[in-house]
Amino acid sequence: MMTYARGSKWMSVRQAARAWRISTATINRMVRIKFFLPDEYRKNGTHNLIARQVVDTWVTTTQAATIFGLTPVTIRAMIKNGFFKSAEVRKNGNRTLIDKHVLKQWIKTAAAGELIGVSSGTICKMIRDGFFLPHEIRGNGRTLFVFKPALTNDEDKAV
């Protein structure tokens, strides 16, 4: 078995599979069907290597569900219903990866309330009253998400 140093630009298929909690066969299949961009993987003899940046940037639907506090089924429904923009998702067959940095920019209304010291009901009222711009809110049926920078970086919006 080949192992690669933590600071290395490349990781083995086994390391990538462990990070994403999927099988090594799935990673090798993703390479074979050109799921990754050419600079995101390479061959080292008979072994595939995956760029560490890819594993650090993209998460599976199960990992996204953990970040959002939802189920993987709900995350897949959000993808299907257009919650995420096409540049934020990589999909090929049954395998879907979501940009982790995008995920961390969206928070549920309850977490948004905690962040600025108000209730989730107050956040919902702020949404209804037009406090947030349309692109700063995304919904998934019963669950609303607020763009985190809209809560913390805009000096014109005082709570």
- Give the range of the structural domain holding residue 118, as residue numbers without chain letter: 106-152
Structure tokens at 14: 């086994």
Quickly state the pLDDT bin for 159 (edges 50, 70, 90).
very low
Structure tokens at 80: 């299907």
Domain assignment present for 93: no
Each residue's pLDDT tens digit, 91-131: 877 788 999 988 888 888 888 888 889 998 898 899 889 89
Domain assignment present for 94: no
Task: Look up the pTM and report it.
Answer: 0.74
How many domains, in total, are found in the chain? 2
Cα–Cα distance between 120 and 71 in angstroms, integer? Answer: 21
Cα R_g (the chain), whole angstroms: 19
Each residue's pLDDT tens digit, 56-77: 999 999 999 998 888 999 888 8
Domain assignment present for 18: yes
